[in-house]
Amino acid sequence: MIIRLIGMYLLSLVFIHTGYINAKTGAYIFLFGMMIESAVSFIEGRVLVKKMIKKDPTHHVERKSQVFRFYYPLIISSLIIVMVGPLINIFLGRTAEIELAIAAYALALSVTQLFLSFFSYVHQIVLTFYKDHPKKVRQFTLLVGFIPTLLLALFCFTPIGSFVVEHLLGANERLMLATLDTLKVFLIMALVFPFIDFCNGILMIRNQTNSMVISQSMNLVITFIVVAGMTAFAPTWNGMIGAMAQSLGMVAELAVLMVIVLKAKRAIVVKRKVEDTGV
């Protein structure tokens, strides 16, 4: 990731100095970063594969069909969740100030994702450590889960945010104020995101990835309802409409995930009691 960011930054400087800045520029920078990350991951992956044993006698996955049953729902859920962005942009085109709404939403989302990116691997921690240390993983999640919200709040409600958005991101005063207002709504998303990632990790461990299709479908449905309703009844909210819709969609997703995870946990507890009593 560090090499990728350095490469993207250097390419952005090239575009700035050559004056080639248009709608394609960001796509080129992002694609270049993905190419770098892909190359590094490929090299690292080949090194790791050579160190792996050919067969682990304790591992129960032996057939491709087992992998496919796990992975197929992830593909479906990914296809569902990528619809959120285009859906929001469609309705932002119906707000009071279209350009301001789309620009503020895009800037606020990128800043929010920057803060969340440091905490986007909670599911990996769950996958690696939860079976052996469930209590410690839960404690760790509670410890770090609120950090993105605190950092984003510090960014929004102090002069740091206005300085970064106006001077580093190059927004004018009007766009800067609209972006900060949108960021304040995104605090909701920052609050729930780490716990969504935690629940998704639990589902992966239990091989219940099909449940993620349900939770992310709920996310999409609630996002649509909120963005459509707010566009109709509060079009002057502009970029905040997108932030509110995306945030409440993720709240709905977390609610569904918690129901699924807790229900499965109760089923496991009941099963263990039956086995212990022999009934």
Same domain for 231 and 192, yes or no, is yes
Are residues 2 and 111 both part of a single domain? Answer: no
Residue 67, pLDDT score: 79
Q: What is the pLDDT along the chain (279 residues), one digit of tens a residue?
A: 788 889 999 999 999 898 888 878 989 999 999 999 999 999 999 998 888 877 777 777 777 777 788 888 889 999 999 999 999 999 999 998 999 999 999 999 999 999 998 888 899 999 999 988 999 999 999 999 999 999 999 999 999 999 999 988 888 999 999 999 999 999 999 999 999 999 999 999 988 889 999 999 999 999 999 999 999 999 999 999 999 999 999 999 999 999 999 988 777 766 666 666 655
Which residue stretches of the chain are H helix?
2-18, 23-51, 64-81, 84-92, 98-117, 122-129, 134-144, 147-157, 159-163, 173-185, 187-205, 210-233, 239-277
The span from the CA of 127 to the CA of 135, in Å, is 14
* Whether 193 and 134 share a structural domain: yes
Residues 43 and 131 in one domain: no
User: What digits encode the pLDDT tens for the residues 116-137?
Assistant: 988 888 999 999 999 889 999 9
Give the three-class secondary structure for 62. Answer: coil
Do residues 163 and 186 share a domain? yes
Domain that holds residue 244: 63-277
156, 231 Cβ separation under 8 angstroms: no
Exposed / middle / buried, residue 179 (Cβ in 10 Å: 0-12, 13-18, 19+): buried
Q: State residue 139's pLDDT score.
A: 93
- Residue 170: Cβ-neighbour burial (10 angstroms; 0-12, 13-18, 19+): exposed
Identity of residue 149: T
Are residues 127 and 4 both part of a single domain?
A: no
Residue showing tokens 């990790």: 201
Same domain, 149 and 30: no
Confidence (pLDDT) at 266: 79
Of 12, 29, 56, the position where a domain reaches its end is 56
Number of domains in the chain: 2
Per-residue model confidence (pLDDT) at position 24 = 87
Q: 113 and 79: one domain?
A: yes
The reply to whether 218 and 109 lie within a common domain is yes
Calpha distance 207→197 (Å, rounded): 15
